[in-house]
Chains A and B, each alone.
Chain A
Amino acid sequence: MLTLSINGLWARKRRLAGTFLAVFLGVAFLSGTLVLGDTLRTNFDRLFTSVTRGTDAVVRGSTVVKGDRELPKHGPVDASLVAQVASVPGVARAEPAVDGYGALIGKDGKAIGGNGPPRVAASWVSDPDLNPYELVEGRAPEQGDEVVINRGAAKKGHLRLGDTAVVQTPDPVTVHIVGIATFGSEDGFGGATYTAFTLPAAQTHLMAQTSAVSRVLIKAAPGVSQADVVRRVSSVLPDGVEAITGAQLTKESISDVNQGFLNLLRTFLVMFAGVALLVATFSIYNTFSIIAAQRARESALMRAIGATRRQVLGSVLLEAVITGLIASIAGVFGGLAVAGLLKGLFDAVGFNLPAGGLAFTGATAVVSVVVGTAVTLLAGIAPAIRASRIRPLAALRDAAAESVAVSRARAVAGIALLAIGVTVVLSTVIGGGTVIAAVGLGALLTIVGIVIFGPVAARPASAALGAPVARLRGISGSLATGNAMRNPRRTSATAAALMVGITVVTLFTVFAASLKATVDRSVTRSFGGDLAISGGRFGGRALSPRLATDVGRLPSVRTAVGLGQGAVRIKGSDQTVTLADTSHLSDVIDLDVVNGSLTTLGPRSLAVSEQEATDKGWHVGDTVPVTFVDGATSGLTVGAIYKSSDVIDDVLLTRASWSAHATQDVDTVVLVKLVSGVSLDRGRAAVERVAAAYGGPTVEDRKQYAASVTQGINMILGLVYVLLALAIVIALMGIANTLSLSIHERTRELGLLRAVGQTRQQLRSMVRWESVIMSTFGAVGGIGVGVFLGWALATAAMRQEASSTLALPIGSLFVVLIVGGLAGVVAGFRPARRAARMNGLAANAGPGLVAATMKST
């Protein structure tokens, strides 16, 4: 049986090439994402391990709060602790460390490093064991205006030893570069920029109080374990301060990154690998179906000479397993290339992931090969069962085409599943549910229903799509339509692969458009100012709070309000909050206050969104306990309730109540209202002049500001499109493969057409249009399902938004449709050329020559 399968595989190698490629690409994507995930983890592990390499223990504030978009933060400790800790027996050395935000400006006047990697300013730690950075040039800083920078930043910013540069902390500080350091042997900590001041300078620029330090680094005396030193140090620490071992710190940093960014990235990528594999499954299923149909006579002959049904089934399944296994193994290696490409892709959009060799684990290989083989086997089961059901008598008959009848049971099952799916989705959405999981289940049922129902729809759909083609292209169009209609199951399975891909594309397109429209509308509606100064969104630069003050002093400016962002803990849960001078906030933002007043918000009060107030049961006048990162807890009174807005978080703190606890006070955006009568251009020029002194952040008008808020969505959408492109390519290969196999099956028919006068050009046109009809069928189905699911998902996800807007990006969807159709042209190109090359005579000259032709193809 094995020999038979292997011989069978070899004889059909060309026809199986499509299956091989589909499995290969799907598995390569999967293994690529796994490799990338492992690589990133290894690199982060390595980086964090080197950070704490020589540190045995760390003393830090025990309060920790975590904002939505950042890693957990610990509060500072008092500098007097350093001497206290140093005197503990077992402590060889204790050094204070300060770090915070500091953007180093390069020779070109722009902040070094794109989006993503942190911009760190710190104090230079003199003990080399406690400092992961090593001086490779120059010396440590001695004066307040002297700094050491990392080699990577120096290279990127074209800065050299002895140069004068500016660091924004976020106030611009002019510094002299006296030293260049490496992180271990590397240029830096990933792509992060690093600027180290003297301790007093770092305290001045980075801490609220100059008596505070971020943490105390401890080196244990010889023979004292990390745990021991932590135990001894802990006994002298005041409340609100904790000590942990260096090993714990490493573990903590690694798990923070793992649970945050890495997990998200991995889930995101594996999801797309899943889509690619699903699309591949359809292509594989189709190829095996067609091959099983074409070898029906062979199977029948085997049954006639005594093979059992089980043996026929086994031989087909064995072929699937062997194909899947070989393709998967190849795919695992292809994954290495994919991982490199993915990393390049993320770097290109500005993620700047840490570099390092690819981490290839046994788990990746095993998972990829098992998944790839299982998918192939799964896709081959239905065709194998069909092959095994062939009666021995079929060997004697001539025509052995695949059964083309579409069963009633299929229609009923398809419609039933579709109805259940749609009902689940609709009831969740209309019923006011926000459960994404329910929508997801409904979506899955809907897609499965559509796929089962596909063959029922394929014939009328092909007829409808083919009608204009027939009118446009005459007989070639009619023949193409007829070919697309002749085997609805095949047409449907071929189109389904593309449909799944296009569904996901459409879903994201609709979802993103709705999200953008919602944010855009909310920003446009609530932003009452004329200009916005932003340091750049998405991990961008921070602005100095003094910028708002300076801009506010301009005669052409009526109000300038800086908005900052921070994190606090309210009643046990961490919360991202917006910080602002609320007395003039209503000049630039219409928050739609429903209760209380913003202008009278005192230093010990806060404002919350209506949604948040409802969720937590807060009313104006209630007092809520708010814990800041420095460990202080104050009772703040709810002074106002506003309708949610995308410019402001759900909780709004006054600048006054925040600043007392902040380590480094920064703004993310400054909103400006001009004096009435001042033209936008004049006002803008005046604001830009002031901003220039602060590193020249972007000054945007209302429209630009709204666009820049939604810029991140576009970027993610672009990324999604690129990741989905592979699924679309697999679907295209599926179409091309099906066409090639169909053409092979129709050799004699094509010969007849050529004999009675079809030119090669007409033949090519016929094949191409069949391809276009099939792919358009898939595209239309995908757009339909995608719009519905995108709408559902957007509605469910944005229910909490005050101004949720559903957008149907007709233009984009039209482009998707056109791309789907063009995809058909591309997919049909090679099959059409091969069909045109076939000899008309060979096709009709009888069995001998037909067999000869088959061998050669």
Chain B
Amino acid sequence: MASNASTLSVPRSSTAVARAVRATRVYGAGDTAVLALDDVTVDIPTRRFTAVMGPSGSGKSTLMHCMAGLDDLTSGQVFLGDIDLGTLPDRELTILRRERVGFVFQSFNLIPTLSALENITLPSRLAGRKPAREWLDAVIDTVGLADRLSHRPAELSGGQQQRVAMARALASRPEIIFADEPTGNLDSKSGGELLAFMRHSVAELGQTIVMVTHDPVAAGYADAVVFLADGRLVDTMDEPTAERVLDRIKGLGG
């Protein structure tokens, strides 16, 4: 695994790969308006595994969606590299997601009509490209799914499905991967394997990963943790452990 790492590289940036500047997101209007994100400014460092934590309704998913170009801000800016996502029309935003961002969701990560391999190569095929064979083989090898590639999602276990999703995110060599509760639907063993693999992707392949989670154990795999509560950025923590994260969350009342 490590022998491969030297031949693999991820685009590198000297500064933060993604940034949110005074990001505010309001859903609805008038009496029913909900302030999901309240003036959040955060930098996501490159080649690091960053966890975003917070209780339900803290705005962690909204922050991720806005930073990934899946949702619009009400005010403020989000940048990927030097690009202000708020200025891009839908088509360019789609292409940017396809070329430079990877996703792993909590569930429903895979298209049921496509095989595992087809799911992995989906973004590049949507872009009308043939995936780079060498890199693809390396990713598949790393994920350890070489013998399940022709299977449909329905024929894979939950853990295998999430690993296919992870492989898909890695396959296009994105600048950043957003993972939204990737272990939320997995048992602790499969979850642990997936997290270890994500950790490995950052350490050995130089990938940048942002993971939204409410599980302190999952956050313990990250390089840094960002804490949100009521839509605000309340704290950050470097080199977290599950215990320290748990203590901090208790303090947030979540």
By a beta-carbon cutoff of 8 Å, the part of chain A in contact with chain B is 398, 474-475, 478-479, 482-483, 485-486, 748-749, 752-762, 840-841, 844-846
Q: Flag B176-189 by CB within 8 Å of A: 1 or 0 each.
A: 00001000000000
Complex CA–CA separation, A845 to B63 (angstroms): 12
In the bound complex, do residue B128 and residue A474 qualify as a contact, i.e. CB atoms below 8 Å apart?
yes
Contact across chains for B109 and A752 when beta carbons are under 8 A apart: yes
| Shortest beta-carbon contacts, A-B, top 10 | A757-B98, A482-B113, A475-B125, A841-B70, A841-B71, A757-B123, A759-B94, A757-B126, A748-B108, A756-B123
The answer to whether B97 touches A752 (Cβ under 8 A) is: no
17 further contact pairs, Cβ within 8 A, besides A474-B125, A753-B126, A841-B71: A474-B128, A475-B126, A752-B105, A752-B108, A752-B109, A752-B111, A753-B122, A755-B68, A755-B70, A755-B97, A755-B103, A756-B98, A757-B97, A757-B123, A757-B127, A759-B94, A760-B91
CA distance A759 to B127 in the complex (A): 9
What's the Cα separation between A759 and B70 when bound, in Å? 13
Mark B105-120 against chain A: 1 for CB-CB distance below 8 A, else 0.
Answer: 1111111111000100
- Once A482-B113, A752-B105, A846-B61 are accepted as A-B contacts, the answer to whether A758 and B126 lie under 8 Å apart by CB is yes
| Residues of B with C-beta under 8 A to A478 | 114, 118, 125
B90 in contact (CB, < 8 A): yes
Contact between chains at A759 and B95 (CB < 8 Å) = yes
Q: Is the CB of A841 within 8 A of B65?
A: yes
Residues of B within 8 A of A398 (CB): 107
A753 with B70: CB separation less than 8 A: no
A-B contact count (CB 8 A): 80
| Smallest beta-carbon distance A586→chain B, Å | 71
Which B residues are CB-close (under 8 A) to A752?
A: 103, 105, 108-111
A632 to B: closest C-beta gap in Å: 81
Q: Is B19 part of the binding interface, using a Cβ–Cβ cutoff of 8 Å?
A: no
A486, B91: Cβ atoms under 8 Å? no
- Chain B residues 128-174 with CB under 8 Å of chain A are 128, 168
Within 8 A of A (CB), among B34-63: 61
Is the Cβ of A756 less than 8 Å from the Cβ of B122? Answer: yes
What's the minimum C-beta distance from A481 to chain B, rounded to whole angstroms?
8
Query: Cβ of A840: which chain B residues have Cβ within 8 Å of it?
Result: 70
A756 touches B97 (CB 8 A): yes
Contact of B105 among A475, A753, A754, A844 (CB under 8 A): A844
Residue of B nearest to A481 (CB): B113
**Chain B residues, Cβ within 8 Å of A749:** 108, 111-112
Q: Which of A475, A479, A761 has the most CB of B within 10 A?
A: A475
Q: Is the interface of A mostly helix, strand, loop or mixed?
A: helix
B125: which A residues are within 8 A, CB to CB?
A: 474-475, 478
Which of B90, B105, B111 is in CB contact (< 8 Å) with A479?
B111
Contacts of B122 in A (CB 8 A): 475, 753, 756-757
Cross-chain contact of B94 among A475, A757, A844, A846 (Cβ < 8 A): A757
Q: In the bound complex, what is the Cα–Cα distance between A23 and B118 (angstroms)?
A: 41
CA separation between A754 and B90, bound complex, in Å?
10
A-facing mask of B51-92, CB < 8 A → 1, else 0? 000000000010001001011000000000000000000110
B100 CB, nearest partner CB in chain A, Å = 10
Task: Report Cα–Cα, A754/B71, bound state, in Å.
Answer: 12
- For residue B55, give the distance in angstroms from its CB to the closest CB of chain A: 15
Q: Please, which residue of chain B has its CB at the minimum distance from the CB of A759?
A: B94
In the bound complex, residues from chain A placing their C-beta under 8 Å from that of B95 are 757, 759
Contact sample, A vs B, 10 pairs, CB 8 Å cutoff: A474-B125, A482-B111, A752-B105, A752-B108, A754-B94, A755-B70, A756-B98, A840-B70, A841-B70, A841-B71
Q: Which residues of B contact A762 (CB under 8 A)?
A: 126
Kindly report which residue of chain A lies nearest to residue B119, judged by CB atoms.
A756
CA distance A475 to B94 in the complex (A): 16
Residues of B with C-beta under 8 A to A760: 90-91, 94
Q: Tell me which of A398, A752, A756, A846 has the highest count of chain B C-beta atoms within 10 A of its own C-beta.
A: A756
What separation, in Å, do the CA atoms of A841 and B107 have in the docked complex?
A: 14
Q: How far is the CA of A761 from the CA of B118 in the complex (A)?
A: 20
CB contact under 8 A between A479 and B113, given known A758-B94, A759-B91, A841-B65: yes
Q: A748-B108, A760-B90 are in contact. Are A485 and B113 (CB under 8 A)?
A: yes
Contacts of B114 in A (CB 8 A): 478-479, 482
Cα A749 to Cα B103 in complex, Å, equals 14
Complex Cα distance, B106 from A526, in Å, reads: 80
User: In the docked arrangement, what's the CA distance between A483 and B112, Å?
Assistant: 9
CA distance A757 to B127 in the complex (A): 8
Q: Determine if B127 and A486 form an interchain contact, defined as CB atoms under 8 angstroms apart.
A: no
Give B169's nearest chain A residue, CB to CB.
Answer: A756
Point out the residues of chain B lying under 8 angstroms from A845, CB to CB: 61, 65
Separation of A482 and B113 alpha carbons in the complex (Å)? 5
CB of B173, distance to nearest CB on chain A (Å): 13
Distance of A845 Cα from B64 Cα, bound (Å): 11
- Which residues of chain A have C-beta atoms less than 8 A from B91's C-beta? 759-761
Q: How far is the CA of A844 from the CA of B127 in the complex (A)?
A: 21
Set of chain B residues within 8 Å of A475, measured between Cβ atoms: 122, 125-126, 128
Expressed in whole angstroms, the Cα–Cα distance for A398 and B70 within the complex equals 24
Q: B126 to A756, Cβ gap below 8 A?
A: yes
B112, A486: Cβ atoms closer than 8 Å: yes
> In the bound complex, what is the Cα–Cα distance between A479 and B110 (angstroms)?
12
Chain B hits for A748, CB < 8 A:
108
Residues of B near A758 (CB, < 8 A) are 94, 98, 126
Give the complex CA separation of A748 and B107 in angstroms. 10
Cα distance A756–B103 in the bound complex, in angstroms = 7
Residues of A within 8 A of B70 (CB): 755, 840-841, 844
Give Cα distance in the complex from A767 to B133, angstroms: 30
Q: Which residues of B contact A479 (CB under 8 A)?
A: 111, 113-114
Docked complex Cα distance between A322 and B181 (Å): 44
- Give CA–CA (A721, B68) in the complex, Å: 53
Interface core residue of A478, A760, A844 (most chain B CB under 10 Å): A844
A752, B105: Cα distance in complex, Å: 9
Distance of A239 from chain B, by nearest CB (Å): 85
A475–B98 CA distance with the chains assembled, in angstroms: 14
Interchain nearest-CB distance for B2 vs A (Å): 29
In angstroms, Cα B101 to Cα A756, docked, is 8
Cα of A760 to Cα of B91 in the assembled complex, Å: 7
Task: Report chain A residues within 8 Å CB of B127.
Answer: 757
Determine which residue in A474, A762, A846 has the highest number of CB atoms from chain B within 10 A of its CB, and name it.
A846
Query: Which of A474, A483, A844 is B113 in contact with, Cβ under 8 Å?
Result: A483
Measured between beta carbons, the chain A residues less than 8 angstroms from B110 are 752
Chain B residues within 8 Å of A761, by CB: 91
Q: Which residue of chain B is the closest to A750 with respect to CB atoms?
A: B111
Distance of A844 Cα from B212 Cα, bound (Å): 14
With both chains docked as a complex, state the minimum distance between the C-beta of A652 and any C-beta of chain B, in angstroms: 68
Query: Which residues of chain A are within 8 angstroms of B105 by Cβ–Cβ distance?
Result: 752, 755, 844
Identify which of B98, B108, B123 gathers the most chain A CB atoms within 10 Å of its CB.
B108
A734 to B177, CA, bound (A): 41
* Alpha-carbon distance A475/B71, docked complex (angstroms): 25
The interface residues of chain B lying within 8 Å CB-to-CB of A846 are 61, 106
Bound CA–CA A475/B105 (angstroms): 22
How long is the Cα–Cα vector from A749 to B122 in the complex, in angstroms?
13
Give chain A residues whose Cβ lies under 8 Å from the Cβ of B113.
479, 482-483, 485-486
Does A844 lie within 8 Å of B126, measured CB to CB? Answer: no
* Closest B residue, CB atoms, query A852: B27
Across-interface contacts of A757 in B (CB, < 8 A): 94-95, 97-99, 122-123, 126-127
- CB contacts (< 8 Å) of B107 on chain A: these are 398
Nearest chain A CB to B235 CB, angstrom units: 24
Contacting residues, chain A, for B111 (C-beta < 8 A): 479, 482, 749, 752-753
Chain A residues near B97 (CB, 8 Å)?
755-757
**Bound complex: CA A840 to CA B70 (Å):** 7
CA distance A719 to B125 in the complex (A): 48
Smallest CB separation, B42 vs chain A (Å)? 19
B65 cross-chain contacts in A, Cβ below 8 A: 841, 845
When distances are taken between beta carbons in the complex, the residues of chain B under 8 Å from A485 are 113
- List chain B residues, Cβ under 8 A from A483: 113
Least CB distance, A215 to chain B, in whole angstroms:
78
- Closest residue on chain B to residue A484 by CB atoms: B113
